Amino acid sequence: MESEPYGIFEPLSKHYQFLALDPPGLGDSAPPLNGYDTANVSKVMAEAIHDHLKDRPYHLIGHDVGGWIAYPWAAQFQSRIKSLSILDASVPGFLPQLQFPLPHPTNMRLWQFSFNALPELPEILTRGRERELLTWFFKLKTVHADAFSKDHFERYIQAYSRPGAMSRGFEYYRAFGTSAKQNLEFAKTPLDIPVLALGGASSVGSDMIHLVRNFATNVSGGAIHDCGHFLPEEQPSAVARRLLEFLDANQSE
Question: What is the C-alpha separation between 50 and 116, in angstroms, rounded?
Answer: 32
Q: What domains are defined for the chain?
A: 9-90+101-249 (3.40.50.1820)
- pLDDT (tens digit per residue) in 96-123: 888 889 999 999 999 999 999 999 999 9
**Cis peptide upstream of residue 163 (ω within 30 degrees of 0):** no
Q: Which residues contact 154 (CB under 8 A, 6 or more apart)?
A: none
Q: Cβ(60)–Cβ(83) under 8 Å?
A: yes
- Is 62 in a helix, a strand, or coil? strand
CB-based burial, 126-157: b 16+ in 10 Å, e otherwise: beeebeeebeeebeebbbebebbeeeebeebe
In a structure prediction context, what are the per-residue pLDDT tens digits for the chain, which is 253 residues long? 334 445 798 899 999 998 999 999 998 899 999 999 999 999 999 999 999 999 999 999 999 999 999 999 999 999 999 999 999 999 999 998 888 899 999 999 999 999 999 999 999 999 999 999 999 999 999 998 788 889 989 999 999 999 999 999 999 999 999 999 999 999 999 999 999 999 999 999 999 999 999 999 999 999 999 999 999 999 999 999 999 999 999 987 4
CA–CA gap between residue 57 and residue 55 (Å, rounded): 6
Amino acid symbol at 16: Y
pTM: predicted TM-score of the whole model, two decimal places? 0.94
